[in-house]
Every structure is written in C-alpha cells, then in structure tokens.
Amino acid sequence: MNSIRFKLLSTLLVATCGLVICMYLVMQWSFDRGFLTYINAQEAPKYERLAERLSQEWLQAGSWDRVKNNRRYWGSMFSESLEIERRQPTSTNNIAWSNRRPPPRFESRDNENVRPPPLREERDIGLTPFTQTTTTRPFLLDHRKQIIYGEASLLKQVTLYPISSKGTLVGYVGQLRKRELTGELDQVFLQQQTEAFTWIALVMVLIPLIIAFPIAAHFVNPIKQLTQGTQKLANGDYSAVIPITTDDELGQLSKDFNMLAHTLSKNENSRQQWIADISHELRTPLAVLKGEIEAIQDEVRQPTVSAIASLHSEVEHLSQLVNDLYELSMSDIGALSYKKEKLYVGNVIEDTLDGFKSVFAQKGITILHEPSAQHSYYCLADAKRLKQLFSNLFKNTLRYTDAPGTLKIIEEVRDRSLFIHFKDSAPGVPPKALEKLFERLYRVEGSRNRTSGGAGLGLSICNNIVASHEGTLSAAHSPIGGLWITIKLPLC
C-alpha cells in the first residue's frame, strides 16, 4: 500500500512540476515580450512629436534637402523632439553641452567666414546621443518610403509614423523596435521579476506536495480496505464488509464489493444446502436398495417377483433422480440442445395429455382442457422440450393432488403472448411456499412432500425450459383449492 501512495505522490509531483515549469516558461516569455512592447510603446509619443516637428520643417523648406544635407541639424532636431540629452564631454569643470560657447569662426584663404570642422562630440551627434531608454537613431523616409536616414536592412523592424503637411503625406519617421533590453534599470527590473517568478514556482510545487499527503491517504485507505477484504474473500471468508465513507466512485466500489461478498455468501450456503439435499435424496433409495439386498442375502426375504419389483422401483426412482439432476445441470450451463420451430403449442399439449389420460383416470383425477378460441397462433419453440415441460407439470399434479380431483388446462392468447394455465384441486400450497416452488430440491411439507415420490427438481427443470423459450413461469393459489401454474410464451 505504501507503493500505491508513493506512485500517487510521484504522479502528482511530476504533473505539478510539469505544469509549474510550463507556466513559468510561458509567464517568463509573455513578460519579456510584453515588457519590450511596453518599452517600445513608451517611445511612441516622442516619435509622434518628431513627426510634427518634421511636418513644420517641410512646411518651411518645402523639401528634405536641409535635413538631408545637414546631419547636425537632423541630430539636433530629433534630440530635442525625443528629449535626448547630448553626451557631455569628459572635463574637470563638467560644463554642459548646452552652455558651451559656439566654436569661433576662422577665415579661409579667400576671406570667407567658414565654420571649422566639427568637434568629435559634434561628429558623434546622431550616432550615440541616446540615454538608457533610446539606443538607436530614428529613421527618416520620404513619401515613397525611400530611406533618407537609417539602414535598409533594419527597415522591417521599424514602426513608421506618417509626416503630413497640409493634408499631404510627405514622409515617414521610423522607430526601430527594441528586440532586447539594453537599459540598466530595465535589466535590473527584469531580473527582479525573474527571481519573483522562480520563488512563485517553487511555492507552487511545495503547496501541492503538502496537500497531496492527506489526499493520498484519503484515496489509499479505501483501496487498502478493499485489498484486505478481497484477501478475505479469496480465503473463503464471505463476512468481509467494507465501510462506505464516500459517495464517489470508491464508495460505489465499496457497495459493489459488499454486494459481491453477500452474493458469494448466499451462493456458498446454497451450494452447501444443494450438496446436502442431493446427498439425502441419493441416500434414501440407496439405503432401501441396500436393505432389500441384504435381506435377500441373509435369507430374511426370498428373491420373489415382488421383492425384485420393489428393487426395480427403487432403481427407477434413483435413475429418475440422477437424470433430473443431469438435465438441470445441463440447463444451468446452457448445454441442453433446443431445436426450435414454428409450431402450434395446443397440439403439443394434446399429444402429451394422451399419454397421461389413463393414469389420471386410474387415480380419479378429471382433466378439463379448454383450447384457445384462436387456433392461428404459433410459437417458436422446441416440441420435445415443451413435451418435457408439460409432462413434469402433469406428474406434479398426479403426485400431489388428492383423489377425486380435477385439473383444468386453459389456453389464452392476448398481448402477443400465449398463456397456459394449469389449475388443480386440493391440497393447496402455503403462501410463503409459492415463491420457493421453483427452487431446486424444495418441497412443501405436509401433503406435498417427499413421501409422494418427488425430489423437488421437476418445477426447477420446468422453469429453465420456459426461460430458454424467453417466457416466464409463475405460481399462485388455484380457485379450485390447489396450485395454479401459469406459463407465458411469446408468439411469433
């Protein structure tokens, strides 16, 4: 049982870990992507301001020539629009770029005032002028999307913002979307979130483990009880009862187990009673035979014709009992052969009754047969087995009905079924015995008992024959004082 608990906990742990790992990876991927989208979206208003500034530039100049030919002018324009601070030069006084005086002019050889070549800081404007939130220069495209500033290979990674002048599209300014975090603060924030996700994942693994132990005990304890109960059943102890503590599938399984134990106990008692009854039924004729034969051997009785006839009667009784037991066992395992055909059951009743009329007359029992008014009905049945069925019922009447007596046989067709009623006269059957009449070796005490020669197997055989024809056999009190047997067979 510990192995079951271990397997249950292992399965739960593996499933939980797999789920947590998947959630961790998905959340980490979603956060990284979402955070990058958020960073890029934060820059969108700045690029829109740059587009407005460039719109004013186009309105004043009427072209992009000034922007295209003056890189410094382009750098200062997008630096101001994007709120980017110029890189401060390394110096002891740390003077800001905005406070520096413009470089002095110098005269060229032709006395024209010309600005000197830009300083290194000026040359680098537009190359590295961004803070942690912006690390790349904006793109500038004309209205045909021809690149003025920017690398053509990165154009697919650029978000374009249109530049309009008096309702006319004159160009685009492009924002290069970030594909990774480069800012120090952004990376620190991302690292903190990753650590938080890791701790959350660990807690999510630990909590199911803590909860799993009582859950495992909840599921394993009923299984343990079922295992112990099954071992008792295997050892022949059918008194095992599993307590039902839940209404789930395990509770239903416990109910089914208790029902199985009760059924096995009942079958075991029936088997023991069946063996005892068979032994008793076989022992009675054998004891009579043994006594008769020993009397002849000891010359107490002479081997006369009457003595031999008595022995023959006991042999016949024993042979009939063995034959009934054999047929009943064959019927139980479905080994009896049935050759069913479409036939008129009334003819089978008449043929069977012809062989019993003389016997009924000798005993003083009157036969009243009322065939059905509808002679066109047919049943799919085996004539040989039906004849055996009717013979057993006739023998039952002969064996237990007092003389003078009466047997009424009534055929009735209704509801697509054939009903055959056998009603005999006294003596009757107690009410408690009616439901047990078709049990094996059961006989009613009193007038209907074993002294009349029956073994209690005839009605059991009848019940099996009727069931094989998809019919039913029932018993009730006869209105003329005896037993009322009803056979119901389906019509075809």
- Take residue 129 and report the two structure tokens written for it: 């002028």
In a domain, 63, yes or no: yes
In a domain, 272, yes or no: yes
pTM for the model stands at 0.49
74 vs 317: CA distance, rounded Å = 127
Q: What pLDDT does residue 182 have?
A: 65
In a domain, 198, yes or no: no
Residues spanned by the domain of 346 = 338-490
Q: What pLDDT does residue 167 have?
A: 87
Which CATH number do you get for residue 421? 3.30.565.10
Q: What pLDDT does residue 100 have?
A: 41
Residues 311 and 393 in one domain: no
Residues 344 and 325 in one domain: no
CA distances (Å), 476 to each of 112, 366, 469, 473, in order? 139, 21, 21, 11
For residue 354, the one-letter residue type is D
Neighbours of 154 (CB within 10 A): 14
Residues 418 and 308 in one domain: no
For residue 292, the one-letter residue type is E
Task: DSSP for 16-49, please give it.
Answer: HHHHHHHHHHHHHHHHHHHHHHHHHHHHHHHHHH
Scanning the structure block, which residue is given the tokens 């023991």? 272
In a domain, 223, yes or no: no
- Take residue 247 and report the two structure tokens written for it: 């209404």
For residue 199, the one-letter residue type is W
Residues 358 and 373 in one domain: yes
Contact in structure between 133 and 42 (CB atoms under 8 Å): yes
Q: What pLDDT does residue 106 have?
A: 38
In a domain, 117, yes or no: yes
40 vs 46: CA distance, rounded Å = 11
Which CATH number do you get for residue 257? 1.10.287.130
Q: What pLDDT does residue 101 have?
A: 43
Domain boundary among 302, 331, 360: 331
Backbone dihedral angles phi then psi of residue 143, each to the nearest 5 degrees: -70, -20
From first to last of the 492 residues of the chain, give the pLDDT tens digit.
455 556 666 776 777 777 778 877 777 777 777 777 777 788 888 888 889 989 988 988 888 988 888 888 888 888 877 766 444 443 333 333 334 444 444 343 444 444 444 433 334 433 333 333 344 678 999 999 999 988 888 888 888 999 998 889 999 999 888 777 666 777 777 778 778 878 887 887 788 777 777 777 777 777 788 888 888 888 888 888 888 877 878 788 888 899 998 888 888 887 787 787 778 778 877 888 888 888 888 888 888 888 888 888 888 878 877 887 777 777 776 666 788 999 999 999 999 999 999 999 999 999 999 998 877 789 999 999 999 999 999 998 998 899 999 999 999 999 999 999 999 999 988 888 888 888 877 766 544 444 455 567 788 889 989 999 999 999 999 999 999 999 999 998
Residues 298 and 407 in one domain: no
* DSSP-H helix ranges across 235-248: none
Domain boundary among 185, 205, 221: 185
Q: How many domains does the chain have?
A: 3
Contact in structure between 441 and 278 (CB atoms under 8 Å): yes
Residues 343 and 326 in one domain: no
